[in-house]
Amino acid sequence: MRKQLFFINNEKGFFLPYVLFIISIIFIVITANITNYKNEIYITDAYLEQLKIETLFQMGHAELKEDVKNSEDMIDKKSYIFPDGNVEISLISFTEEIFHFDFNISTRKHPQYSIIHYMSIPDVQPEE
């Protein structure tokens, strides 16, 4: 007759709580890793959206500078359409030295972002 292992025939009940404890620890670790992975996905999406917003702001700012340099009239409102979203720029006020612009940026995922930007006169003066 074949000899069986001692812990298989042990009927004292020690190994069932031990196995349940190890399995519960494994489930806790797996659940924590899944939650962490979901949070990382959310943070990555938010970071990519922020990067798109900053890129749209920079592209709108560069286009506005070119339009102001090329036109003789002051631009009150301007809209730009880019592949990642739209930028609407409104002139709020200006003095002899500073322009005050309001950038309204809309992307595909989120409807609206607003950035207030000040631009000095040497930045927008025509080059001679």
pTM (predicted TM-score): 0.69
Across residues 76-81, what is the average pLDDT? Answer: 88
Q: What order of strands is seen across the sheet that includes strand 85-94? A: 77-82, 85-94, 98-107, 113-120
Across residues 113-117, what is the average pLDDT? Answer: 81
All residues at 6 or more sequence positions from 63 whose CB lies less than 8 Å from its CB, including other chains:
78, 80, 87
All residues at 6 or more sequence positions from 74 whose CB lies less than 8 Å from its CB, including other chains:
68, 91, 94
- pLDDT over threshold 90, residue 44: yes
How many structural domains are present in the chain? 1
Across residues 67-83, what is the average pLDDT? Answer: 80
State which residues form the domain around 112. 15-124
Residue 118's SS3 state is: strand
Is 9 inside any structural domain?
no
Is 3 inside any structural domain?
no
Is 4 inside any structural domain?
no
- pLDDT over threshold 60, residue 18: yes
Across residues 109-120, what is the average pLDDT? Answer: 79
pLDDT at 97: 74
Q: To the nearest whole number, what is the mean pLDDT of the chain?
A: 81
- pLDDT over threshold 60, residue 39: yes
Across residues 67-86, what is the average pLDDT? Answer: 81
Is 98 inside any structural domain?
yes
Element (H, E) at 92: strand 85-94
Across residues 103-111, what is the average pLDDT? Answer: 85
